[in-house]
Amino acid sequence: MLSNAARFLMVSAAASLVALGSAPAEAADACVDLSDTAFDLIGDSTPVASGAVFLTAVQKAAFGYTNTDIAVLWGSTSPNSSQYFDNFFVAQPHFEEITDIASVDEGDVLILDGTMTYSGHTAIVTGPATPAPSGLGPSITGTLQWALPIADSTSSKHGCSASYPDSRCVGGVFTAGEGTAFMRIYTDASGVPVGHTWSVSAASISNYFPISGTVPNAGAARPFKIGRLAPCPPL
């Protein structure tokens, strides 16, 4: 059976990739079925509208859940990212927050909460975070940068970098929908997430979004958290 790292490379349509190397052992309690099924749905070209809808579709396919099951767990038959954020991280009956980037692994879920000006986003983590290239802007004082491999559905490309590709970007042309990509997570020195950028590509400070507070000339705060279903499956 192919590893998720190998499947990630097969899904990606970029012309070249930097070798990902061997991934560390999976976290013992990671819900790897979510990651495996995400690759399957991408390979089947299943039409999905958004990151939150993609997560719902993956749960249904991985665990055999019905709309009723989804509603019992997350408060709606088709939760948006804000609803997932609230149910995962506020109510927390079926979810464990991960606050150390070194502990993040395949099958985990990243959820950006909605704000007054942003609808939020949801992505399934497909592997551990790795250090991003040094000197890659924007540089935020006191932070470390990490490249996080994900699977999601989006209408906004996560960059078309050859080193950190978005599988929906082929020949420089992006096609909205399901795919694999990378997002960049910023942490403090101890590994606690403090912000993100949409891609692992050189960008201006305005493309950086802190989890809370303000950073001069950066984007407005966009709260996000990373977590793991616990138990898995939750029903």
- pLDDT by 10s per residue, the chain, length 235: 444 454 444 444 332 332 333 334 344 456 899 999 999 999 887 778 899 999 999 999 999 999 999 999 999 999 999 999 998 887 778 889 999 999 999 999 999 999 999 999 999 999 999 999 988 999 999 999 999 999 999 999 999 889 999 999 999 899 999 999 999 999 999 999 999 999 999 999 999 999 999 999 999 999 999 999 988 999 8
**pTM, whole model, 2 decimals?**
0.88
pLDDT value, residue 91: 74
| Neighbour tally for 51: CB within 10 Å | 27
Q: Nearest-CA neighbor of 42 among 1, 84, 6, 8?
A: 8
User: What type of residue sits at position 206?
Assistant: S
User: What type of residue sits at position 102?
Assistant: A
CB 209 within 8 A of CB 197: yes
Q: Enumerate the domain spans of the chain.
A: 29-229
CB 121 within 8 A of CB 112: yes
Strand residues in the chain grouped as ranges (E): 95-98, 109-112, 121-125, 130-131, 144-154, 169-170, 173-174, 177-187, 193-197, 209-210, 224-229
